[in-house]
Every structure is written in C-alpha cells, then in structure tokens.
Amino acid sequence: MAPLGGLIGDSPALVAVRNQVEQLLRRQAGSRRFPSVLILGETGTGKGLLASAIHESGPRAAGPFVAVNCAAIPDTLLEAELFGFERGAFTDARHAKAGLFQTAHRGILFLDEIGLLPENLQAKLLTALEEGAVRRLGSTRAERVDVWIISATSEDLKAGAQRCGFREELYHRLAVVMLRLPPLRERGADILTLAEHFLTRTCTEYGLAAKTLTADARQALLAHRWPGNVREVANVMERAALLVDGGLVTADNLGLAIPRKRGTSSREERETTRRDAPVGMSLGQAVEDIERRHIVEALHETRWNISRAANRLGVTRDVLRYRVQKYGLQLPPATAEPTEPTDGPHHAVPPTTGRGPVNLQWERRHVALLRADLVPTAPVIAVPAATAALATLVEKIENFGGWVEEISPEGLVAVFGLEAVEDAPRRAAHAALAIQRIAAVAPRVRIGLHVGEISIGQIGGVSRVDHTAKREAWEQLEAFVGEAGPGTVLVSEATRPFLERRFVLAPGVAGDGATRTVCRLVGLERTGLGLGERLTPLVARSRELDQLVRAHTQAQTGHGQVVAVVGEPGVGKSRLFWEFIESHRARGSLILVCSAVSYGRQTPYLPVIDLLKAYFRIEPRDSTDKIRERVTEKVLSLELALAPALSALLALLDVPNDDAQWRELDPQQKRRRTLETVKLLLLEESRRQPVVLVFEDLHWVDSETQAVLDTLVESVASYRVLLLVSHRPEYHPTWVGKSYYAQLRLDPLSPENAQALLDSLVGRDMATASLKALLIERTGGNPFFLEESVRAAVETGVLLGDRGDYRFARSVGEIRVPATVQAVLAARIDRLPPEDRTLLQTAAVIGRDVPLALLRTVADLPAELLSAGLMRLQGNEFVYETRLVPELEYTFKHGLTHEVTYAGLLENRRRPLHARIMEAIERLYANRLAEQVDRLAYHALRGGVWDKAVAYFRQAGAKAAAHSAYREAVSCFEQALGALTYLPESRETIEQGIDLRLELRNSLFTLGEFRQIFDCLAEGRILAERIGDQGRLGWISAYTAAHFCARRGPGLPGLRPSSRGEFPFGAGLSQSGRLPYCKGMFRAKHRVPRRRPDP
C-alpha cells in the first residue's frame, strides 16, 4: 500500500496532514527514539486510521500495532489491561498476564480517547513514558518496554486540562508532535470523494450492482453538517447501498436532515435564544451552560439511553459520554436504571417539570428482533475485545434503524420496527448480513432473527415494547439461536415469509444434523423477480396470455404494439409477464425487463438505466472503463451513425465523459438528446431482432422515464417492438387513443376460478370445501391473498399435509390474516390522506357493508366532504357501491381489507365508535328496530353497552329461533349471558340470567345437545334457589323432567329413582302445576310402581 493511501481526499487541510506525517516518517527512518504523537480531531475523522497508517508506513511496520480505547474499558480493568498483573494480584488472577504495553514491545501502542483516562492512571502512564518501563499489578520490579506511543483525543486537552482534571505534564509528554485532522465539514469536495469510495466498497463487498449518486444526493451530502464525520459517511453509504434496489442513490435514500438556512429562524426562536443566554458569563461559560442544558434535556427525553440521546444531539456516543463526564452529570435516583451508566460522580440531572399528564397509546405492530451472541474463541472473552465487538454491533444495528433493547457482555437483542416502517424484517436482515461480514474477527458472532406481532406503547413520543410480549419473543429466539454456529444467521419460521422474496434462505441444520424449521440467511437474492421460489399455477389467464401472444406476433412482422396490464396489487400482473416471457423466450426476441419502484419517483431515468444495463450486459463489478468499452463497442457495431449518441448513454450510466460538445449543451438540450438517444437505440436494435420491452409498476414511474416512454410510443408503430407495461388502476397513460395500444385489465379471480386455484394449492378433499369458500369470500379472489392465506392456514395448523393434498385439521374460524398480506394492505391504507384513512376506519367499524345514512351520521362530516372522500376511496378500490334502493350502501372490496382496516384502530377508538353506531341505528331505524337487532347487538357488545347488549342479543336469539336457525339462536343467547356478567349483580340481572338459560335450553333441545342442557338447567336452578324464585324453579324442574324423559338410555346423574321409588324433583313442580304429568312420565321411563298406601 502507498504511504498514507488510506487517507482519502485532496482538501488543503488533509494534504497538510499527509505532508506533515510523511516528513515525520522520513526523519524517523533510521532513528531509535520516537517522539510521542498526539492526534487531534473530532470523533469519526479517522484518528485510528491515521495511527494505523503511521504504523504501516513507518519504521515500526514489522512490529505489533496495539490499539486500546480508553473510553471502552471500565476503570477497574484498564490498569490491568495496560500494565498487566501477576498471579494473585487480585481475585481470580490465577496466572500472570502481560499488559498492552508489553504486548506492543518494539511496535506502536495507540491510546484512543486519551482524554477519558482516569486520573489515578495518568500518573502511572506518565511514569511509564518517562522511564520506558512498566510494573505489573502485584509486582515489585519494573520491566523495560520499547514502545512508540500514539494517542488521540476528540477534545482540546490543553485548553481543558484544568477543567477536565487531565494532568498538564502528561499532556506535554504526549503532545511532542501534534497532528490535527480537520472535520469533514471543512474538507469541501472530499465529502463526495469519500461517499463514492464507501459506496463502491460496500457494493463490492456485498456483491451488489454498482450504484451511483444523483445530483440531488450530491447536494445533500455537501449540505449536511456530518457531526459523525467520515464514520458517519461510511455508515450512510453502506445503508443506502443495501436498502436501494436500483442503480441510483437519491437524496431521499440517504435520509439526511436538511439543515436550516441561515437567517430563517423565527423572531420567537431568536428571542428564546436571547433569553436562554446567561448574563454575566464569559462566552465560553455561556456556551458550556447552554450545551449542558441541551444534554440534560436529551438524556431526560431518552431515559438516559446514550445512543438515542447522542442521535438527538447529532454527536457520537463517545462524545456524549465525554460531555456527561465533563459536566459531572449522573442518573437521578428517581429514574430507572440507565441504559449505559456513567461514572460522573457529582451533579444529578434535575427532574423535568411542567409536563402535562402522560399520554399512553398502544398499537399492535409486526416488529423484527435480532439477537447477536458473542461466541468466544477462548475459554474467557477478553473484556476489551468483547466491548469493541459490542460497540461495532450496536453501530451496525443503529445504522439500519434498529433499537438495542437489551445488552450484556455476552451479546445483545435489538428491535426493528418500533417506528411505523414497512420493511422492518428486511432492515434486520441487512443489519445481520452487515454484522456477519465483520464477524470473522474474534470473538465471532451468531445471530438469530424473529418477526412477531407485538404491542408497542407510545409514551411522550418514545416507543416502548410490551414486557410480556417481549419476553415471549425472547423465548422464541432462545429456542433456536443456540443451534447457530459462529458466523451464521438463523431465521425463524415466522420470519421466512418476509424475507424469502429478497434474500437467499437455506434450510437450517442443528448441531446433531437434524433439519429444523429455522432457515439460514445466506445473502441477497440477485434475480429481483420477487415471485418466490415456487410459482403457483396461472389460473384463468389464458385469454390475456393469448392476447400477449397475438401482440407479439404482430410486433414480429413490423407492426409495433403497446399492451398495458392493469390491476390492483396481488392480481398477478408480474406473474402473467413471467409466464409470457418463459413461454416465448426461444422465439428469437430480445427481452429487456425493468421496473419502477416506490422510492424512485424523484430519481430521473431509474428504470431506463436498469434497462440499459441489461441491454449492454453491464455487470455489478464492472469499472467505468469497462462500461465505456462495452457501450462503445455495442453501439458502434449496431450502427456507426449512432456514434453521437454515446455521450448521452454514458451520462445516463454515470460514466465520465470527455465529449466537449456534450458538456456545452444546456440541460434542456441534454434532455432532448437523451430521450432521442434511448429511442433510436431500441428502434435500431429492432431492425436486427424483435424487441420485447417490459416496464413494470408505472404507477411509481419518474417523470423522465415517463418522457422516454412517451417518445418511444410515438414511434413504435412501424418497428418490431412490443412494449409491455403494468400499473395499478390509479395510473392513467397518455397513449390510450393509439390504434396499436391495448389494455388488459386483470381482475380478481371469479369464485369458480379461485376455487380452481385453491384446488391446486389445497387439494380436492370435500372436507376443505368450507375453508375454500371462506378464503374466497375474505380475499375477493385475489391470487396473492389466496396463496398467502393458504400458507397461514398451514402455519397455524388448520391444514395438514403437503401442497395440493392438504386435509382439514382445525376450525375454519381460526385462520388469521397473513402477516405478508396485512403488510401490503396496511401500507395501502397508510398511504391514504389522514381524512380518507379516518373515513375508511369509521366505515370498517360499521361493518363489511356500510349504509350511507349510517356512515353520514357517525362520521359527522359535511355532505360534500363525505361524498368526495367516498369517491376517492372508490377510485382507490377500497369500497364500492352495492345497493341503491331502498338506500345507498357501500361494501369493502374484500373481507381482508375490512379486517386489516378495523385492526388498525386502537381499542380506545373502536369502543366509542361502536357505541355511537348503535345509537345512530336506534335513531335512524326507530320504526323497524327488529330488522336491525343483530347489528344493534353486535355494536352494543363491541361498544361495551352491556345492558343493551343483553337485550338485543336476547331479541336476536328469539328471532333466530323463530326462523328455526337454532345454532345462531344458541350463539346469541350465549353472548347475552356473557354480556350479563359485566352488569352489577341484582335480583333483576339474576332473573334475566335464569330466563336466558331457559330460552337457551329450548334451542339446545332441538339440536339434541342434552349434556349442555343439563348444565344450563343446573346453573339456572342454583340462581333460582339463591333468590328463592319458586315459579322459575318450577319451570326449571319441569324442563329437567321433560329433558330426562325424552333422553334415551340411562338417566343422567341426580335423576335416578330412590330405593323407595320416591319422585326426585323438587317441590317447585307443584308450583307450576305440572307435577302429575311429570310423575307419570318418570314412572313410565323407569318402570317405577305406584306406591301403595301404608296399612
């Protein structure tokens, strides 16, 4: 490696540092004495990299390089680590150990964050530097060491020596030569050079396609303040490389905060700053006072979580730890245990005052959990190595948006998805792969991933994981992480559906060789098809497939065609294209596929660039010279007249261009040249062979790609080109009037075709018919939803067996909404404007079918706003009109949309809505409540209006029984009894309970549920005896006798005749007048002789 080649950049400040170091190394080339070097610079500027470069390029390159972070090792262990110890020096010191000074003999010892060295060690370090010898703990003799000391700090030790307690004489001993690394914000264009370097390195290390920065990304990089300096750039670019699917990285992908422009602060902010500035202080004291208050506020808001507080303040964790120690801050006694305790011994942070009442809200969310265990390569993990490894893990996890929930010396557990993100499992997997790449250094790491639906509490803007749910998820991880070998990533079965379309998963194998339900995460999926490993049969799409074939045939004869496939998510647009491509790939056509993406709307030409890379066969690791060579060779072999188009193509591919004429063009001229170039290239290719162009998901297309398509469509009619596009119904192309344009609308499958798909997935067993009917009704025939619902039924044990030959095992009603489907639908719902989302949720509480009059009353919106909202929901295909008379009524597109929308509402919002809906029904249908009794009972129960729930369910039960719907009647009476338990006990409620059981008995009797009848009457007897109600007790006895006499076989317990032939029923029968009848029935049943009178 060239000397100091790792210091990337050409800014004057960095060049000065390089020159200074090179001069130092030249002068020390033949010297035996080496001056101490102190490297100054903010955290993340590359102090460790510079120290390593001095070692590799200097006269001690053959010796060891030992680095130690003084902030990462506890004070009680730092002395033993630096100077070593003898056997018996302290508890558990069973053998002597050399310190880091001796380990670095004839090499370099790098002391990072030297400013945090405890005072009691500063004197010992000074002695070692001056005498060139160290004395181990427990030893009486000093041992000579030959060590070149390089230290580093992010603070000005000279200016803060008195305030921070750093010994001035030690400072002068360390700072013989001082090197000052500039912060990144002062290095100008170096920011872009570093960003491109780290982006290229990440793509190479992960085997990803090369990615480039767009103009807006470059502007965002230059505008950002970079408090984390070079380290922050590396993390940002690594995250962007892994999370961006296309070839361009935009400003939105970087996720950088937009800095406030100078002079734009409000008058109120300026006055607040003025009021906050302390009076009678020097400028330095005032700055420190304001800084301290900001730190205190951030620590309180994050409950002393150092990582979160540092993120809020825009500094690194080490800088924040230094500031906490500098200002003597410590955790107040009334606060819970800090996430990362500090050793500052003096001032407690004062409690925050003036806060309003705590607002706690809960919601259920799918989150991803990552557990990383340090696997020791020796019997005991060295504390410095473990601490450094954990710090690296935390950095990677936070870089992908994770939150470290628990941490210990042996590992950690992190949570992804505390904030509302759709790709929490994907982020966790990316973090795991990033950790895996650095896990080769001991101690190695084993990782487990698990996704679960967990309750998340929001307290003052801070997310908290429900304790019970967290422990259950922990147990899930514990069950399989122990099986993972060092350097591997295991994925739970619940996590697999979220990852299998974008990552490579392999079966997990335990240490005993047995295959487990867990999978191994191998790497990133490279094809980008997104259709899964095992395709389902293409059902009921033969007409559409034939139309694509006809369009292809026409295009082959020189009559270009444009075909758009339109449909909602999950209906099979990509599946149809795949079937067409696979069936006709061998027919001599060039097929190029590209896709727009949701995050690419602001990235110009993103799908076009992907298409050009496929056309020119550009590989991910090709250099710019290789790309230029391939493009030039291909274009010139196609047509020499296309030579002027090379500049536009190279610019699209972000390859440096030396064409002076191209550089002189203004932006509009370059745009016109680019549009024309792409069109000419594809049309010229079609002269050699038919071309099939596939553009997917145009509803996400950027404006420049749209312009390319518009230009191409205008000229395609007379060329051998078939342009296939897909989009959702909300997108409207401008080419619909073209004679060579056709649109294929893919609707959800009809019930018959959905049945055929389910036959192939589930099987033809008649026992599964009810399940299939339920799935068709819930999914509305959406193929993707059907497939995922079958998977959910298998995972939950409703279905057992193999694909295409499942058998029914459990209740149909136990099928849950598949998590993958829930994510798709929830994302669509979340994209709605707030007012439309609220309207949809209100409609979901009303039910699957939504009368307009009822929605108008409950939503309480002006007529024009309600009408406009419903039109938008219809346009987005969430609801549609189903009835016009006697009143307008809407219904949800399918049951899953209704279920997911309803589940998105918190319980504290659902309950009052249900109560309002019940009241609205009572007002709107006051003259015909009997028709609405079922709906009234449902909303009263969900709304917690228990007295009305009892009454309405009792009426609904009677209504069902009158129509001979005895199963439904039993359900209604049981729900009425359940609601009754929420009312205060009184004689009235007890009487209601008895009467409900008697009515329940009538329906059970018809169904032949004799055991349940007996239990029901026994409960009624207990209640009647408690209140001494002889009339009701008589009826219970009568029903008991009738039930006993009607039942065939032996009598039930408690109804056998006595040895004297006495009648076993209570006196209550005489109160009902049915005693003689029941006695006769009883004797006939058991052949009991009439008792003769006593003589």
Q: What is the mean pLDDT of residues 270-299?
A: 59
Is pLDDT at 221 greater than 60 in this prediction? yes
CA distance 563 to 554: 12
Number of H helices, E strands in the chain: 44, 31
The pLDDT score that the predictor gives to residue 678 is 92
Query: Which sign, positive or negative, has the C-alpha torsion 701, 703, 708, 713?
Result: positive
* Start-to-end C-alpha separation, the chain: 127
With cut-offs at 50, 70 and 90, classify the pLDDT of residue 586. very low
The pLDDT score that the predictor gives to residue 490 is 92
Gyration radius of the chain over CA positions? 38
Q: Are strands 805-808 and 721-727 parallel, antiparallel or unpaired?
A: unpaired
Angle among Cα 875, 877, 878 to the nearest 5 degrees reads: 115
Is pLDDT at 519 greater than 70 in this prediction? yes
Both tokens assigned to 182: 């500039």
Distances (CA, A) of 19 to 12, 26, 43, 179, 900: 10, 11, 22, 11, 63
CA distance 703 to 729: 18
The pLDDT score that the predictor gives to residue 318 is 60
With cut-offs at 50, 70 and 90, classify the pLDDT of residue 929. confident
Burial class of residue 812, CB neighbours in 10 A (0-12, 13-18, 19+): middle
pLDDT tens-digit series, residues 286-332: 666 677 777 887 777 666 767 667 766 766 666 676 677 667 676 55
What are the DSSP calls for 695-750, one per residue?
EE-GGG--HHHHHHHHHHHHHGGGSSEEEEEEE-TT---S-TT-TTEEEEE-PPPP
Partner residues linked to 1087 by β-bridges: none
Instruction: Pick from 222-226, 899-903, 934-938, 1008-1012 the range whose average pLDDT is largest.
Output: 934-938
Is pLDDT at 574 greater than 70 in this prediction? yes
Q: Which of 44, 142, 46 is nearest to 102 (CA)?
A: 142
Both tokens assigned to 439: 């896990």
Both tokens assigned to 393: 């893990």
Domains by residue range for the chain, with CATH: 12-182 (3.40.50.300), 185-254 (1.10.8.60), 282-348 (1.10.10.60), 360-524 (3.30.70.1230), 542-745 (3.40.50.300), 751-816 (no CATH)
- SS3 (DSSP) at 867: helix
Q: What is the mean pLDDT of residues 633-644?
A: 84
Query: For residue 583, what is the DSSP state?
Result: H
Q: Amino acid identity of 895?
A: G
Q: Amino acid identity of 966?
A: Y
> Is-contact 1064 1054, C-beta < 8 A?
yes
Beta-sheet strands, E only, within 774-888 = 799-802, 805-808, 849-851, 879-883
Q: What share of the chain is helix, strand, coil (3-state, %, to 5)?
A: 50, 15, 35
Q: What is the mean pLDDT of residues 370-389?
A: 70
Instruction: Pick from 274-278, 310-314, 377-381, 767-771 the range whose average pLDDT is largest.
Output: 767-771
Q: What is the mean pLDDT of residues 545-566?
A: 92
For 776, the enclosing helix (H) or strand (E) is helix 769-779
Q: Amino acid identity of 365?
A: R
pLDDT tens-digit series, residues 1052-1086: 444 444 444 444 444 444 444 444 545 554 454 44
If one counts every other C-beta atom within 10 angstroms of the C-beta of residue 438, the result is 13
Q: Which of 52, 177, 73, 64 is nearest to 121 (CA)?
A: 73
For a pLDDT cut of 70, what percent of the chain falls above it?
79
Beta-sheet strands, E only, within 887-985 = 889-892
The Cβ-side half-sphere exposure at 308, using a 13 Å CA radius, reads: 20
pLDDT tens-digit series, residues 876-890: 778 888 877 667 889
Q: What is the mean pLDDT of residues 48-69?
A: 88
Q: Amino acid identity of 1023?
A: L
Least confident of 358-367, 859-868, 1068-1077: 1068-1077
For 504, the enclosing helix (H) or strand (E) is strand 503-509
Angle among Cα 65, 71, 73 to the nearest 5 degrees reads: 75
CA distance 436 to 485: 12
CA distance 166 to 686: 75
**pTM of this structure:** 0.53
CA distance 811 to 75: 61
Partner residues linked to 37 by β-bridges: 150, 177
Q: Which stretches of 622-666 are DSSP H helices? A: 624-638, 646-652, 660-664
The Cβ-side half-sphere exposure at 567, using a 13 Å CA radius, reads: 22
The pLDDT score that the predictor gives to residue 167 is 82
The pLDDT score that the predictor gives to residue 1094 is 42
Q: What is the mean pLDDT of residues 709-714?
A: 92
Q: Amino acid identity of 543?
A: R
- SS3 (DSSP) at 692: strand
CA distance 933 to 226: 64
- Contacts for 741 with CB less than 8 Å, ≥ 6 apart: 561, 562, 563, 564, 713, 735
> Is-contact 994 1024, C-beta < 8 A?
yes
Q: What is the mean pLDDT of residues 656-679?
A: 86
Least confident of 295-304, 480-489, 588-597, 634-643: 295-304
With cut-offs at 50, 70 and 90, classify the pLDDT of residue 708. very high
For 388, the enclosing helix (H) or strand (E) is helix 383-399
Residue 34: phi and psi, rounded to 5, are -125, 125
CA distance 611 to 605: 10
Q: What is the mean pLDDT of residues 1007-1014?
A: 85
Residue 101: phi and psi, rounded to 5, are -60, -45
Burial class of residue 641, CB neighbours in 10 A (0-12, 13-18, 19+): exposed
Q: How far is CA 9 from the centre of its chain?
A: 36
pLDDT tens-digit series, residues 829-840: 766 888 888 899
Query: For residue 137, what is the DSSP state?
Result: B
Is pLDDT at 806 greater than 50 in this prediction? yes
The pLDDT score that the predictor gives to residue 840 is 93
Both tokens assigned to 1005: 């009797």
The pLDDT score that the predictor gives to residue 562 is 95
Dihedral, CA atoms, 568, 574, 579, 585, nearest 10 degrees?
A: 150
Q: Which of 733, 631, 725, 717 is nearest to 681 (CA)?
A: 631
- Residue scoring higher pLDDT (284 or 35): 35
- Contacts for 467 with CB less than 8 Å, ≥ 6 apart: none
- Residue scoring higher pLDDT (228 or 705): 705
Least confident of 173-177, 937-941, 970-974, 1034-1038: 1034-1038
Is pLDDT at 800 greater than 90 in this prediction? no
Q: What is the mean pLDDT of residues 766-781?
A: 84
CA distance 70 to 138: 22
Least confident of 7-21, 532-546, 833-847: 532-546
pLDDT tens-digit series, residues 398-454: 877 788 888 887 888 999 887 766 678 888 998 898 888 774 443 578 899 998 877
With cut-offs at 50, 70 and 90, classify the pLDDT of residue 583. confident
Is pLDDT at 516 greater than 70 in this prediction? no
Q: Which residues of 124-148 are buried (b: 16+ CB within 10 A; e: fewer)?
A: ebbebeeeeebbbbeeeeebebebb
Is pLDDT at 745 greater than 80 in this prediction? yes
> Is-contact 608 679, C-beta < 8 A?
no
The pLDDT score that the predictor gives to residue 378 is 56
Both tokens assigned to 868: 């406009």
Residue 529: phi and psi, rounded to 5, are -70, -35
Distances (CA, A) of 658 to 647, 653, 661, 706, 874: 8, 14, 9, 28, 53
Q: What is the mean pLDDT of residues 485-513?
A: 78
Both tokens assigned to 729: 């119904």
With cut-offs at 50, 70 and 90, classify the pLDDT of residue 535. low
Mean pLDDT of the chain: 79
Instruction: Pick from 166-175, 239-248, 341-350, 974-983 the range whose average pLDDT is largest.
Output: 974-983
- Contacts for 322 with CB less than 8 Å, ≥ 6 apart: 71, 113, 115, 116, 154, 155
Burial class of residue 210, CB neighbours in 10 A (0-12, 13-18, 19+): buried
The pLDDT score that the predictor gives to residue 529 is 43
- Contacts for 371 with CB less than 8 Å, ≥ 6 apart: 411, 412, 413, 414, 447, 448, 450, 477, 481
Query: Which sign, positive or negative, has the C-alpha torsion 351, 352, 356, 358?
Result: negative
Q: Amino acid identity of 478?
A: E
- Residue scoring higher pLDDT (29 or 946): 946
With cut-offs at 50, 70 and 90, classify the pLDDT of residue 157. confident
